[in-house]
Chains A and B, each alone.
Chain A
């Protein structure tokens, strides 16, 4: 293969229940929005190809599948993440306060190689609503205090900043993944799929 290796980025979205994690994913990937609180099925992971600096990369965005509701996300969920998106609801201050513990939880569970420089992106969602309770300034200050995490104000409903935010997520995840690659001495993990010809793999056997 002469072309560069296909890149798959695992992005996970964290934040309190109801802040719009699934909606943001759905807006970004499917350009759809539903007022229903809970997706009945399918809040799993969504994939989308994006172009970052002339490279095609596949973003695999993992939803919490509701397991965050009672602090019941298992460690397996966090494995191998290339970027972590933390979402809060600008109309609900509690969800903003939770960011700190979500960030800590991520660092503990995912235990990235270089926690100091692991890419996070913060999204303040639901800016379309009138009853805003967390100011942009407050959110920005917090992000700055955490090693300058990029911050975006989004509306999944009205598709405000969603594209832009996910572009940044992809870019930062790619930087992380490229670095991780350098340290990965054991690249031949196996993904199972119905196709048995899995022996000559070069790292792009994603089954999705």
Chain B
């Protein structure tokens, strides 16, 4: 294959994870010359979604590629379905199911491993599942940049918690609070008062109100406010996603974020991207390409070095496939970055992430319409970490009909399996037993445990024009990725606008045309969609 492209760029971006892709889009958008590449044959890096076959390849690659070993480790893949036997009748059986598209009510499909293989394309399994807060940084960015036009979302339909040893819905909207029977009327008023006051605080008021609570926990604050244990549970664990040791101000901020995002798109504050989070980096890459960035997958880098040119300017030089490329700024996935460029000490301490993916044959809690669930587990043991669970079904384009994907994640303590299995067992049937056996929990058919490094590091001082992007973090949303992309963009082009709304629809602009006014800023709230 011939690669005929220029060898000088203003910005080269290596890796197509979330942060890299946002930076690429932002740079390309203001018309910097951007070359964006990835060693892999797909977009997303550690933020990618895979179909079932692709996931198998990913597992294999992680296990065999030495440079991946420290990044993704402790992989444990397990089937809970026996190896397909030669029973022809079961094959016949599944053919029947295929023709009626699984619509036979009442009878649950018996899944065989071969069904996973034949329907592999219907899976979009996230390696880094995350939600978007409806008024979070990413949603605002997608809207203000108009990158939202490339993708669609679904609302999370419910927030659950683990209370008194069973799953319980969390009343999170005003309507929910008043409809729920789980709390008394007095508690309802107490809760509403508390939540309303949190939403009302601006930054200054917040600092004022909580100045005596700086070193105290959120739980102490909630107790001080007279909330009952049930309410404390809802607010602390389900709404703030915290633990007993969560600091007060942090808890208040998390609550505020949750509450502020209510009522925009659905009954909960959260959105899930159709086909999974792995599509999001691709949306940014598309905008970047539309504005002229050059895209090249399957492009490994052989070496990176900095070089001082005749005019005294320092450039970064990359060698790949017998080609030498230079750029003013290199933006790079930290896991791709050669050790020599990185400081030996990470910027701050961080814990790795324990993750698990389960494929089940029904939802963790039945509901009228197909649910999309966020479940926040309080730590099962005192001093442990909270565990986040996301359950997505076929309506999200994540899996074939009749299945659900259940994602678990938490900061790593021991290893992914030890950290998460005790939680998974609470809500899933992890036995090897028959799929037809009656159980009050969904039957797990397949699972994968893995740990991911929480990368945190900085480039050695003295190299101002290399910018490393962290890998995925353990947070529920994408805020850190957006913040980081902004910071990097700010370093590359200080003072420039970050991903302004793009352009006039239905017009192509050619080089031979004198560029007209770049773009006319509209009133953000009033415009909506251009017709």
Contact = CB atoms under 8 A, between A and B. Distances in A.
B395 A194 contact: no
A207 B149 contact: yes
Interface stretch (B110-118, B287-295, B448-456, B469-477): B287-295
Nearest to A47: B506
Given A72-B295, A74-B282, A34 B510 contact: yes
Interface in B514-531: 524-525, 527-530
Interface in B149-192: 149-155
Nearest to B148: A192
A65 B286 contact: yes
Contact of A190 (B122, B271, B294): B271
A3 interface: no
B152 A26 contact: no
Interface residues of B, number: 60
Given A41-B290, A47-B506, A189 B43 contact: no
A84 to B, nearest CB: 16
A41 B291 contact: yes
A29 interface: yes
A190 B152 contact: yes
B507 interface: yes
A42 B150 contact: no
B509 interface: yes
A42 B148 contact: no
B143 A194 contact: yes
B286 A67 contact: yes
B512 interface: yes
B238 to A, nearest CB: 23
A186 B371 CA distance: 11
Interface string A64-98: 01110111101111010000000000000000000
B503 interface: yes
B295 A189 contact: no
Nearest to B135: A196
B266 interface: yes
B227 interface: no
Contacts of A65: 286, 289-290
A41 B271 CA distance: 30
A67 B42 CA distance: 12
Interface string A53-65: 0000000000001
Given A65-B290, A194-B143, A207 B271 contact: no
Interface string B273-317: 011000100110110011110111111000000000000000000
A193 interface: yes
A82 to B, nearest CB: 15
B123 to A, nearest CB: 11
Q: Determine the main DSSP class of A at the interface with B.
A: loop
B467 to A, nearest CB: 22
B109 interface: no
B370 interface: yes
Nearest to A44: B290
A191 B291 CA distance: 22
A70 B295 CA distance: 7
A36 B265 contact: no
A172 B277 CA distance: 31
Interface hub of A26, A70, A206, A208 (most chain B Cβ within 10 A) = A70
Interface string A28-52: 0110101010111111101110000
Interface hub of A34, A66, A79, A183 (most chain B Cβ within 10 A) = A79
A46 B503 CA distance: 12
Given A111-B122, A196-B264, A41 B503 contact: yes
Given A186-B370, A193-B528, A30 B265 contact: no
Contacts of A74: 42-43, 279, 282, 285-286
A199 interface: yes
B510 A40 contact: yes
A75 B286 CA distance: 11
B369 to A, nearest CB: 9
B142 interface: yes
Contacts of A186: 370, 394-395
A44 B297 CA distance: 20
A44 B289 CA distance: 9
B512 A34 contact: yes
B225 to A, nearest CB: 31
A77 B143 contact: no
A117 interface: no
A110 B368 CA distance: 30
Contacts of B1: 70
Interface hub of A46, A70, A74, A191 (most chain B Cβ within 10 A) = A74
Contacts of A71: 297-298
Contact of A69 (B283, B295, B298, B524): B295
B510 A39 contact: yes
B143 A30 contact: no
Contact of B148 (A41, A75, A207): A207
Contacts of B139: 192
Interface in B458-513: 503, 505-512
Interface in A169-208: 183, 185-186, 188-196, 198-199, 206-208
Interface of A: 22, 26, 29-30, 32, 34, 36, 38-44, 46-48, 65-67, 69-72, 74-77, 79, 108, 111, 183, 185-186, 188-196, 198-199, 206-208
Given A190-B266, A194-B524, A207-B149, 9 more contacts: A38-B510, A42-B507, A65-B290, A67-B286, A74-B279, A76-B282, A79-B279, A191-B148, A207-B529
18 contacts: A38-B510, A40-B292, A43-B290, A67-B286, A67-B295, A70-B295, A72-B297, A76-B279, A79-B274, A189-B152, A190-B152, A190-B265, A191-B149, A194-B144, A194-B529, A196-B264, A208-B149, A208-B530
